[in-house]
Amino acid sequence: MSTLNHKSSTRNLYNRTASEWIRGEPSSLSDFTARPFVLELCEPVAGLRVLDIGCGEGYCSRELRRRGAAQVHGIDLSQGMIAAASLQEAEDALGISYEVGCATDLKQFDNGEIDLVVAVFLFNYLTIAQTQECMAEVARILRPGGRFVFSVPHPSFPYMREAAYPFYFQVDGTGYFSKRDQQFPGRIWKRDGSWLNVQLIHKTLEDYFNALKNAGFNTMPILQELRVTPEHIAIDESFFNSLLDQPLHLAIQVSR
């Protein structure tokens, strides 16, 4: 599949499903197992100028603003997602701005203009080349000392797990190295029993770290391998238990 087709399949998926993503409190698996940890990695956010790339309907943008960010701007490829984010902003104004845009082209931002760039489950929709383009743009717009925080599905996860509730990417067998840059469908469930269709353009750990290095990030990143914790089990054992002891997501923070 070409890069253009990847983009239009992503745009179509999210335009179709935007309303299913709207939530005011944690609902899907990764709202518990990833986003709280990614947001914590963004701290301290008070007073910062923040860009949320692949902001979706604004779940993380809203939380970053509530945590005291001075400015939050969200961009997303999907008009449906941006409409959903803008509607929530109209109903409960937090002072966040949203626009339709692409992660690989951030030319509306000047060099060094942003303090914190956040990208929560964006890169699983980008090819290796697009990931490199995006990270180069992120490095350009971050001020010296500014931070880049992002989360991705753990690259090993799809190869350690069958396609089953409550989270999977269907890679069909082995191919950790040979299936780089190929796109696979996946599903992630909400605690209410419904699910969200998601996608993965598979990249290895090396692909992510090479992209950071090529973009000019040369400080030591902080890396967290996110998983089901005892606190999750205490909340809802039947939902989280089958994923216990599996590497679900990576959260990475790197400074410019």
Ligand X SMILES: C[S@@+](CC[C@H](N)C(=O)[O-])C[C@H]1O[C@@H](n2cnc3c(N)ncnc32)[C@H](O)[C@@H]1O
Residues that bind ligand X (CB under 6 A): 10, 14, 53-56, 59-60, 76-78, 81, 102-103, 120-122, 125-126, 198
What's the min distance (Å) between Cβ of 144 and ligand X?
25
Type and span of the H or E element at 208: helix 205-215
CB nearer to ligand X: give 224 or 233: 224
Nearer to ligand X, 37 or 177 (CB): 37
Least spacing, CB of residue 14 vs ligand X, in Å: 4
Cα(79)–Cα(104) distance, rounded to whole angstroms? 17
**Shortest distance (Å) from residue 155 CB to ligand X:** 16
Residue nearest to ligand X (CB): 56
Structural tokens at position 113: 């203009």
Q: Please state, in angstroms and rounded to a whole number, the distance separating the CA atoms of residues 14 and 256.
A: 31
Question: Whose Cβ is closer to ligand X: residue 91's or residue 245's?
Answer: 91
Q: Where are the beta strands (DSSP E) in the chain?
A: 49-53, 71-76, 97-100, 114-120, 142-153, 167-169, 183-189, 195-201, 222-226, 249-255
- The answer to whether 228 and 33 are in contact (CB under 8 A) is yes
Q: How far is the CB of 38 from ligand X (least distance, A)?
A: 8
Between 190 and 233, whose beta carbon lies closer to ligand X? 190
What b-and-e string marks burial along 220-251, b requiring 16 or more CB atoms within 10 Å of the CB?
eeeebebbbeeebeeeeeebbeebeeebbbbb
In the bound state with ligand X, the residue whose beta carbon lies nearer, of 191 and 233, is: 191
Determine how β-strand 71-76 pairs with β-strand 97-100. Answer: parallel
Min dist. Cβ of residue 75 to ligand X (A): 6
